[in-house]
Amino acid sequence: MGTGKFITRFFTAILLVASATAAVAEAREDVPIAIAIHGGAGTIEKSNMTPEKERAYRAKLEEAVNAGYRVLEKGGESLDAVIAAINVLENSPLFNAGKGAVYTYEGTHELDASIMDGRDRQAGAVAGVKRIANPINLARMVMEDSPFVMLSGAGAEEFARSRGVAMVDNQSFDTEQRRKQLEKAKEKLERENKQDKDYQAAVDALPIRYKMGTVGAVALDKNGNLAAGTSTGGMTAKRYGRIGDAPVIGAGTFADNRSCAVSATGHGEYFIRYNVAADICARVQYQDKSIATAADEVINRVLKPIGGTGGVIVLDPAGQVSLVFNTKGMYRGSRTSTSPVRVAIFDDEG
């Protein structure tokens, strides 16, 4: 090859490498990242809320969204973003998860949580734990550091201890507001003299604000991986080791990169029976529906007519967010690479 030809080829190769590098950089900028969170659904009405309380809720929701988004922005994984957002809500007494968890009938706290990785459907969950400050972190340990998917009660705590997790007193989850809710709930149950067989009906009859307030997050990272997580104290006055949908994979939490990521909040028994989170993603995957259509069908057309109250946050692999509920309100928030942080509480907010 003559020197002239060699020089031409050499520079052509450099140009090709340079333009390929530029294309990758451009594509990276276009890659969507997104997070959405919830802090529970229910009878949340402006008339029940002081302006200070409303401000406090909005500020905490925004803090949680931003905590998760920061992880994604730095190139972190969706699982880490989900954990970061949920930890903010678990550590706040405003929400029914971690500190601020509702009381059981016996006056204690039993916490449930689960997490799922959309890459490979790995999942971890804990149910009925009493001494774990951040149950979502333990759920992740179950997923990553055990051959199991779901651990419960004393066994889950033994596993936590074996992995060096600090135990906290059950009373550290106490809050005055939740204690009052338990007293009201018990008064109502006892006034109506509900026996065990009618217990579900009595709990159903309680105003929703006594029962709900789970937290959850869904995230999409720059590698296109979805993740979902949910953490809760369950429902006020729950008994007999009752476990809701939050730690049940497919019911309260689901993530699969081929369809969507979902975290749910609401009356857990319905969400378990109707396999809500997985059903939404199945409609997306097998019926080619958008997440907005699939979530609306399940929440408003399947659950609502049978009395299943609650809502979901849903995220798809393109970074689209859908927040759907059939109650008066749902504490919620989101931020994506194309839309700034947004938080909302009531049903008449966009």
- Decide whether 34 or 41 has the Cβ nearer to ligand ASP: 41
Least Å from the CB of residue 310 to ligand ASP: 6
Least Å from the CB of residue 188 to ligand ASP: 18
The reply on whether position 268 binds ligand ASP by CB under 6 A is: yes
In sequence order, what are the beta bridge partners of 262?
Answer: 254, 314
Q: Is 214 a catalytic residue?
A: yes
Query: For the stretch 97-114, what's the b/e string if a residue is b when 16 or more beta carbons lie within 10 angstroms of its beta carbon?
Result: bbbbbbbbbeeebbbbbb
Question: Which window, 87-95, 239-247, 277-285, 314-322, contacts ligand ASP (CB under 6 A)?
Answer: 239-247
- Decide whether 140 or 211 has the Cβ nearer to ligand ASP: 211
The candidate with the shortest Cα–Cα distance to 82, out of 62, 101, 67, 100, is 67
In whole angstroms, how far apart are CA 267 and each of 117, 247, 294? 24, 13, 19
- Decide whether 38 or 319 has the Cβ nearer to ligand ASP: 38
Least Å from the CB of residue 28 to ligand ASP: 37
Least Å from the CB of residue 93 to ligand ASP: 15
Least Å from the CB of residue 18 to ligand ASP: 53
Least Å from the CB of residue 211 to ligand ASP: 6
CA atoms of 91 and 173, how far apart (whole Å): 10
Least Å from the CB of residue 105 to ligand ASP: 14
The reply on whether position 234 binds ligand ASP by CB under 6 A is: yes
The reply on whether position 236 binds ligand ASP by CB under 6 A is: no
Terminal CA-CA length for the chain: 67
Instruction: Give how many residues touch ligand ASP by CB under 6 A.
Output: 14
Which one is catalytic: 12, 21, 175, 214?
214
Window 170-229: residues binding ligand ASP (CB under 6 A):
212-214
* Eight-class DSSP state of 327: S
Window 19-58: residues binding ligand ASP (CB under 6 A):
40
The reply on whether position 256 binds ligand ASP by CB under 6 A is: no
DSSP annotation string for 225-270: -EEEEEEE---TTB-TT---STTSBTTTEEE-TTS-EEEEEE-HHH
Alpha-helical (H) ranges within 276-317 are: 276-287, 291-296
Burial class (CB within 10 angstroms; exposed 0-12, middle 13-18, buried 19+) of 50: exposed
- Decide whether 38 or 336 has the Cβ nearer to ligand ASP: 38
Among 244, 308, 329, 333, binds ligand ASP (CB under 6 A): 244
The reply on whether position 245 binds ligand ASP by CB under 6 A is: yes
The reply on whether position 266 binds ligand ASP by CB under 6 A is: yes
The reply on whether position 117 binds ligand ASP by CB under 6 A is: no
- Decide whether 221 or 328 has the Cβ nearer to ligand ASP: 328
The candidate with the shortest Cα–Cα distance to 93, out of 127, 135, 60, 62, is 60
Burial class (CB within 10 angstroms; exposed 0-12, middle 13-18, buried 19+) of 17: exposed
Number of neighbouring beta carbons within 10 Å of residue 329: 23
In sequence order, what are the beta bridge partners of 333?
Answer: 37, 343
Nearest-Å Rg of the Cα atoms of the chain is 22
Among 101, 220, 235, 280, binds ligand ASP (CB under 6 A): 235
For the annotated catalytic residues, the residue numbers are 214
Which residues bind to ligand ASP, rule: CB under 6 A? 40, 96, 212-214, 232, 234-235, 244-246, 265-266, 268
